[in-house]
Structure 1
Amino acid sequence: MELSNPRPWLRHYPKEVAESYDYPNKSIPDLLLDSASKYGDRPAIHFLGKTLTYSKLLEDVRRMADALRRLGVAKGDRVAIMLPNCPQAVIAYYGALLTGAIVVQTNPIYVERELQHQLADSGASVLITVDLLYPRVSRVRGEKPEEGPVPALQNVIVTSIKDGLPFPKNILYPIKQRRDGFRPDIPYGKLGIHSYSRLMAEAKPDPTIHSVIDPASDLAQLQYTGGTTGVAKGVMLTHRNLVANMVQASAWCYRVREGKERFLAALPLFHVFGLTVLMNLSVYKAGELILLPRFDIVQVLETIRSKKATIFPGAPTMYVALINHPQAAKMDLSSIEIAISGSAPLPLEVQQRFEAITGGRLIEGYGLTEASPVTHVNPIWERRKNGTIGLPLPDTDCRIVNPETGEPVAIGEVGEIVVHGPQVMKGYWNRPEETAKVLKDGWLHTGDLATMDDEGYFAIVDRIKDVIIAGGFNIYPREVEEVLYEHPGVREAAIIGIKDDYRGESVKAYIVPKDGVQLTAEELNRWCRERLASFKVPHVYEFRDDLPKSIIGKVLKRKLHEELEGQS
């Protein structure tokens, strides 16, 4: 597909932002090496009172790389990381990449079936996790997944939150764990189970461990996402993909000062949004990454106040929680200068109230895992258009096309948004047919419906896929439906997204019970919570005698949406 139309968005770029950039031919670990060489004494990570400088972070990363090498990890091997936001998550990420391994970021709230699929599909040989999650990992290693053989998971490295805490919190934390009833029985030294702290103590910060990387072709990570079929697919992101997207984001945030910013990491680093605009961007700009293990609004407010965070990327739900907390208006949050909202639509009221409270700028952007992830952002300090996702980033071409023919549609008309740029993935892991469906002549077909106005601002209209986005997480209806269909009392099930002022969307389940069976929402809720991550579990259940269907028996979800609209 040749781009023949002019790019109207370029006329509205801030004067400080170029149309195109030269992207460094570097790997992701090279960025850490650069920052450590220039800003070794500056804080790199802050976690609940403990600070690591760039020199110390690099030392720990090299120790992790040495530890992984001793376990046999070589270039191209997959290393899964299932950790909350903590220093170990950063150390494990850069350490694995330093060996030339491919990182598989894994959501810590995945249940066994989800974790099992991801480990089996990626072929990860090492998993780095936290003691709180070990029982789940143990069950996965001992069970045979339905999709094939037991994963080739040879080694599991287990850390604890205490390993990242300062004294005396690191002493008190295990006491609190025991008081809360958590007594991990982890067979260290057996079955390939290793203590993170012991491995790190025995490893050496070897500066010679730096695998030769071809940034354009070598993979940095497999970032798993779902699809229209509900099957999670590994998005292959190269070092160049991630470096380019980070440079693009940095160029857009042109007032960001090297060696001076403080990035508030309430977004999880295992999410590609947090990975790029928090961890990688912070390291690239030699910023201080302020890690929070989970999103707790009181802790977020206090951290902004005490640590004077300047950059706060997040999902709309985070900003909704902040502006509605009674303490927000009483606290000094004026350090916030930039907040970038992604993963779901940003309500105008939320934007206005957040800016009034903080004095900073909150703008909406757009992206997807297959694009590392950012493709569009509203100007931060210049004219933005509310209700839009803004303009394509530098070196990012974008078109609105007819979903059936692939031909461009007229300005203002609805079509599928397709993008082309250095941040676009290499493809799906071991899924050439799925790759061919979305990557055509280098153009990524997003599956999202959008419009472009005559100034080059884009607005998302709807999703071709039935993806539900709740609190920034993608939920694939078919996966939830399959779990419901496994219930012995369910005859039919359909899942749709419904509006939710806080989460953006919530999951609603329409259930047709089998004849003579009495089902309750409480029973199905328990069933789903045992088989799905909590954010995928339906919030609302409606029991019916039948579901609207087409002549061939396909459930017409648009009819369900129309019914809801008629009730509102």
Structure 2
Amino acid sequence: MDSVKPWLRHYPVEVASTYEYPKHNVARLLIDSAHTYPEKPALHFMGKTLSYKEVLDAAYRFAGGLRELGINRGDRVAIMLPNCPTAVIAYFGTLMLGAVVVQTNPLYKERELAYQLADSGSTVIITLDLLYGRVANVQDKTNLKHVIVTSIKDYLPFPKNILYPLKLRKDGIKITIPYSETVRSYKELLQKSVPVSLCADVEPEQDIALLQYTGGTTGISKGVMLTHYNLVANAYQCKYWFYQTRTGEERFLGALPCFHVFGLTVLLNQSMLTAGMLILIPKFEVDEILATIARLKPTVFPGAPTMYIGLIHHPRAEAYELSSINVCISGSAPLPLEVQERFELLTGGRLIEGYGLTEASPVTHANPIWGYRKIGTIGTPLPDTEARVVDPDSGEEMPLGQIGELTIRGPQVMKGYWNRPEDTASTLREGWLYTGDMATMDEDGYFTIVDRKKDMIIAGGYNIYPREIEEVLFEHPAIQEAVAVGVPDSYRGETVKAFIVLKPGADLVERDLEEWCRKRLAAYKIPRQVEFRDSLPKTIVGKVLRRQLLEEEAERNDKGT
């Protein structure tokens, strides 16, 4: 077995290679912790704390309210909320009924929102009063029968709940909700609902708990069907990897959005499973994050590289007490070595790089937190997770160290794509998930992501992987962020273009950057074009939108600029 799975010999002794995972409704993660630790703090939101007993009672009430609206097992309920208590309560309340959660990004424009709601067949949506107008404008293009409206002030402590509407008025924001039989107030729904202890019996390996839409950064967004078993298994896999978890004691800094599958698993599901306190941050702002860490002393801080970059470059970061941070797992994008080293020096905690994708609930790989880690790799597969590097065309396994497509098999791998059998068949083959990511595996079973298959640049017949270039750019002392893409070139087919954000106060000219790269990269990999920018377009979790950069580039070329 060890020759097939060389990573097993590097597992910490506290982590087994295989486990039995519970087969039950995801809602039991909350229910079980609330029964064991009813008075423990479950959620903290902008100064207000809710106990496990209070969150469970509200979730039961929400489930009862949905049932009165005619929602049954298998029906889709969209949740369009930032990190706030209502988002957690609606999530578990929906699952208690056996209904399917459809996580919807609050930043979606009307076109994106209409597409997702129509594609999923959602009949109910819960959203913020601030976002209601957007929902109302697309409702006739969807199957929506009911809109439930909540507000940030619903869970603000006194006097913030009084001051919040005043601030909106001061900012010129006027909200008028036309409440009716089809537009309901969240607070009234809960008040009128009778809390009933219910948790629908489900077929965990077949019944869908979550329709999570892929970000659409590489094309049309698809609904990923994640079952109750997928989500529960991945929550437990993460818990076993974080084997020093102190049940009932951990504090999770919820800066990642829970409507994204990374935040959903490593924050929401993980904190409920371990009876931790989830500190909900509705919007990532560096000053607020530093103050929150110093004040509330979170122990676990999952994030994206851009979050850690923002913190280490804050001019007063060292003035804050950040030593409570014990464990951080970075995902969504490559983690530069400099960022990892500086963040660990700043906090004294461990920052490890991991890997996952929506189609795998999402976590599949991570470096050991307290064991043998390899900087620059995504680590090893989690327990019960198999991984191979294969030829993307033939499916044949590649030799050690050779680049191929990363494929994964495990209990966290999706059921398939919603209403897309052809896409499912091309992505799931003989039980293996073809990730679309190009990777290598070394002799110890540690994997390194080279790049997205679709992001590979072919210049003059050479295969060029953007991440290799970006690592060199990140090492430059003047560069804060960088991304490399392939742009059309009449001679070479494609050529490398780098988009760069400089550190505050730094200065760099293209000629000096070329000299830097020439000493570190083969000539054909050196960026032939460089564009300095104030910022890069990103998803909500900090993944650079390469497609948007390429679209902007194509538009400029069309205009002849």
Partner secondary structure for residue 465 of structure 1:
helix
Q: How does 1:300-379 map to 2 (within 5 A)?
A: 300-379=289-368
Residue equivalent to 1:200: 190
Residues 198 and 232 of structure 1: CA distance in aligned 2, closer, same or farther (over 3 Å): same
Does residue 273 (structure 1) correspond to residue 262 (structure 2)? The answer is: yes
Q: What are the superposed Cα offsets for residues 153-185 of structure 1, whole Å, 9 maximum, x if unpaired?
A: 000001000001111111111111111111112
**What is the CA-CA distance between 1:227 and the residue it aligns to?**
6.2
Does residue 156 (structure 1) correspond to residue 168 (structure 2)? The answer is: no
Distance 1:57 1:48 in 2: 16
Q: Is the 8 A contact 1:228 1:465 kept in 2?
A: no
Partner secondary structure for residue 58 of structure 1:
helix
* Code of the aligned partner of 2:50: L
Q: Is the 8 A contact 1:219 1:236 kept in 2?
A: yes
Residues 214 and 498 of structure 1: CA distance in aligned 2, closer, same or farther (over 3 Å): farther
Residue equivalent to 2:63: 65
Residue equivalent to 2:512: none
Give the TM-score normalised by the residue count of structure 1.
Answer: 0.82
Q: How does 1:60-459 map to 2 (within 5 A)?
A: 60-142=58-140, 150-189=141-180, 192-207=182-197, 209-226=198-215, 230-459=219-448
Residues 99 and 263 of structure 1: CA distance in aligned 2, closer, same or farther (over 3 Å): same
Partner secondary structure for residue 223 of structure 2:
strand
**What is the CA-CA distance between 1:498 and the residue it aligns to?**
4.7
* Code of the aligned partner of 2:105: N
Q: Is the 8 A contact 1:466 1:496 kept in 2?
A: no
Residues 126 and 381 of structure 1: CA distance in aligned 2, closer, same or farther (over 3 Å): same
Residues 61 and 496 of structure 1: CA distance in aligned 2, closer, same or farther (over 3 Å): farther
Partner secondary structure for residue 353 of structure 2:
strand
Q: Is the 8 A contact 1:237 1:372 kept in 2?
A: yes
**What is the CA-CA distance between 1:500 and the residue it aligns to?**
4.9
* Code of the aligned partner of 1:289: L
The one of 422, 429, 450 aligned to 1:461: 450
Distance 1:273 1:349 in 2: 23
Distance 2:6 2:544 in 1: 42
Distance 1:404 1:534 in 2: 27
**What is the CA-CA distance between 1:5 and the residue it aligns to?**
5.4
**What is the CA-CA distance between 1:466 and the residue it aligns to?**
3.7
Q: What are the superposed Cα offsets for residues 511-548 of structure 1, whole Å, 9 maximum, x if unpaired?
A: xxxxxxxxxx9xxx9xxxxxxx9977549657766799
Residue equivalent to 2:473: none
Q: Is the 8 A contact 1:320 1:502 kept in 2?
A: no
Q: Is the 8 A contact 2:25 2:200 kept in 1?
A: no
Distance 2:328 2:37 in 1: 25
Q: What are the superposed Cα offsets for residues 364-390 of structure 1, whole Å, 9 maximum, x if unpaired?
A: 000000000000000111121111000
Residues 546 and 67 of structure 1: CA distance in aligned 2, closer, same or farther (over 3 Å): closer
Where do 4+ consecutive residues of structure 1 move more than 4 Å?
226-229, 467-470, 494-503, 533-548
Q: What are the superposed Cα offsets for residues 430-488 of structure 1, whole Å, 9 maximum, x if unpaired?
A: 10000000001110000110000000000001111249999xxxx9x9xxxxxxxxxxx
Distance 1:41 1:543 in 2: 57
Q: Is the 8 A contact 1:418 1:445 kept in 2?
A: yes
Distance 2:160 2:451 in 1: 47
Distance 1:96 1:67 in 2: 10
* Code of the aligned partner of 2:84: C
Q: Is the 8 A contact 2:328 2:352 kept in 1?
A: yes
Partner secondary structure for residue 306 of structure 1:
helix
Judge which range, 26-35 or 393-402, deviates more.
26-35
* Code of the aligned partner of 2:411: P
Q: What are the superposed Cα offsets for residues 71-100 of structure 1, whole Å, 9 maximum, x if unpaired?
A: 111000000000000000000000000111
- Consecutive unaligned residues in structure 1, runs of 5 or more: 143-149, 478-493, 504-520, 526-532, 549-568
Partner secondary structure for residue 433 of structure 2:
strand
Q: What are the superposed Cα offsets for residues 202-234 of structure 1, whole Å, 9 maximum, x if unpaired?
A: 111111x32111111111010001569711110
Q: Is the 8 A contact 2:251 2:276 kept in 1?
A: yes
- Consecutive unaligned residues in structure 2, runs of 5 or more: 457-465, 471-482, 486-493, 504-530, 536-542
* Code of the aligned partner of 1:216: E
**What is the CA-CA distance between 1:420 and the residue it aligns to?**
0.2
**What is the CA-CA distance between 1:502 and the residue it aligns to?**
8.7
Distance 2:321 2:212 in 1: 37
Q: Is the 8 A contact 1:81 1:129 kept in 2?
A: yes
Distance 1:427 1:32 in 2: 26
Partner secondary structure for residue 454 of structure 2:
coil
Residues 497 and 174 of structure 1: CA distance in aligned 2, closer, same or farther (over 3 Å): farther
Q: Is the 8 A contact 1:79 1:126 kept in 2?
A: yes
Q: Tell me the C-alpha RMSD between the 2 structures.
A: 2.7
Residues 498 and 213 of structure 1: CA distance in aligned 2, closer, same or farther (over 3 Å): farther
Q: Is the 8 A contact 1:253 1:380 kept in 2?
A: yes
* Code of the aligned partner of 1:107: N
Q: Is the 8 A contact 2:77 2:99 kept in 1?
A: yes
Distance 1:90 1:170 in 2: 19
Distance 2:499 2:445 in 1: 28
Distance 1:332 1:412 in 2: 42
Residues 229 and 380 of structure 1: CA distance in aligned 2, closer, same or farther (over 3 Å): closer
Residues 228 and 415 of structure 1: CA distance in aligned 2, closer, same or farther (over 3 Å): farther
**What is the CA-CA distance between 1:267 and the residue it aligns to?**
0.3
**What is the CA-CA distance between 1:135 and the residue it aligns to?**
1.1
**What is the CA-CA distance between 1:496 and the residue it aligns to?**
9.7
Distance 1:496 1:184 in 2: 48
Distance 1:346 1:229 in 2: 21
Q: Is the 8 A contact 1:313 1:340 kept in 2?
A: yes
Residues 546 and 53 of structure 1: CA distance in aligned 2, closer, same or farther (over 3 Å): closer
Residues 337 and 128 of structure 1: CA distance in aligned 2, closer, same or farther (over 3 Å): same
Distance 2:358 2:109 in 1: 21
* Code of the aligned partner of 2:39: D
Residues 397 and 500 of structure 1: CA distance in aligned 2, closer, same or farther (over 3 Å): farther
**What is the CA-CA distance between 1:337 and the residue it aligns to?**
0.0
Distance 1:266 1:90 in 2: 14
* Code of the aligned partner of 1:159: T
